[in-house]
Amino acid sequence: MIKNDLYLKALRGETVERPPVWMMRQAGRYLPEFIALRDKYDFFTRCQTPELASEITVQPIRRFPLDAAILFSDILVVPQAMGIDFKMKESVGPWLDEPIRTAQQVDDVIVPDVNETLGYVFDAIEMTLEKLDNEIPLIGFAGSPWTIFCYCIEGRGSKDFNIAKSFCFLQTEAAHKLLQKITDTTIAYLKRKVEKGVSAVQVFDSWGGMLSPADYQEFSWQYINQIVEALAPLTHVVVFGKGCWFALEDMTKSKASALGVDWTITPELARQFTNNSVTLQGNFDPSRLHSTPATIRKMVHEMIDRFGKDKYIVNLGHGILPNIPVENAEAFIKAVVDWKA
């Protein structure tokens, strides 16, 4: 039995004393102890070594009174498992020597046995759960099929993912085939995470906001919804679509336990679009963590008051930035812990 189940209560829509808090990318690059490991091991070594991944996962838990841990990993371990050889290039980010640009390349992509290709992630879950010792829940995650697709076609990060979008519009059949392969792999991957003991899963649609509402339905949401449908009977599913406020109404009709929102929508509109029927997560602007601790505290309290304490998980509107002072991250978390109605 998990001792602090505030996060799970919020996902179930139960009444709580205060909302739970965690931060996207909380196990990461703003912490000096993370930087020490980063300087010693390259990125995918850290992801693929269970001892390192579990250690990085619990680093912020040792520092802060967080209500959930999220497993340290990366969304690109899924395409790697599918035979798409992503690297992490210095000063560039995700990099693919041979981006997918043809129908034949799509045909060559495999749907793997996740136990064989992603066993290191499942081992990291076991090690992390041992370290957490039932204190707080552990969240597993994956990228949305569209977001992973973007990297596979583009071959790297992009401001607009125009090559990926063009592939969808010019080679639509091949695009849907690749999206389905990513979806099938992701479902198997997340199911195994649940079997290994995570308490919830989150799907990150980082680039969904690049699409028009109609194209979002065709190339992103229908695949995310397949994941939600497959996982909802087994665990809580949280969907976070950056820049996807226009899809909140449709997302609300799904079996997702919670919807993440970024800072480009007000709490009032987010509640209106979801008819106050689903738990919301978010939506503090990560850049606002550059404010003074006193300002952060005031803004967090205002944010909670506007969302309301129930059916709400306090989080950032995207991942924490690498140059945020540790004391500011702490101010954000403690503001939630100290909040009173």
Binding residues for substrate: 25-29, 44, 74, 151, 206, 318
* Catalytic annotation, pick one of 29, 63, 101, 156: 29
38 counts as catalytic: yes
Q: Which of 298, 295, 332, 338 is nearest to 317 (CA)?
A: 332
Separation in Å, CA 19 to CA 4, 211, 244, 268, 315: 12, 32, 23, 17, 10
In sequence order, the 6+-apart residues with CB closer than 8 A to the CB of 206 are 75, 143, 144, 147, 242, 318
As a whole number of angstroms, the distance between CA 179 and CA 210 comes to 16
Binding-site residues, in ranges, read: 25-29, 44, 74, 151, 206, 318
Provide the 3-class DSSP secondary structure of residue 15.
coil
151 counts as catalytic: yes
User: Phi/psi class of residue 195: alpha, beta or left (left: φ > 0; alpha: ψ in -120 to 50)?
Assistant: alpha
Cis ω for the linkage preceding 283 (within 30 of 0):
yes
As a whole number of angstroms, the distance between CA 144 and CA 111 comes to 16
As a whole number of angstroms, the distance between CA 39 and CA 28 comes to 13
* Catalytic annotation, pick one of 5, 67, 74, 205: 74
* Catalytic annotation, pick one of 5, 7, 46, 151: 151
As a whole number of angstroms, the distance between CA 80 and CA 278 comes to 34
Residue 298 φ/ψ, nearest 5 degrees: -60, -45
120 counts as catalytic: no
* Catalytic annotation, pick one of 38, 63, 101, 156: 38
To the nearest 5 percent, what fractions of the chain are helix, strand and coil?
50, 10, 35
As a whole number of angstroms, the distance between CA 84 and CA 101 comes to 13
* Catalytic annotation, pick one of 12, 25, 63, 101: 25
189 counts as catalytic: no
29 counts as catalytic: yes
Active-site positions read 25, 29, 38, 74, 151
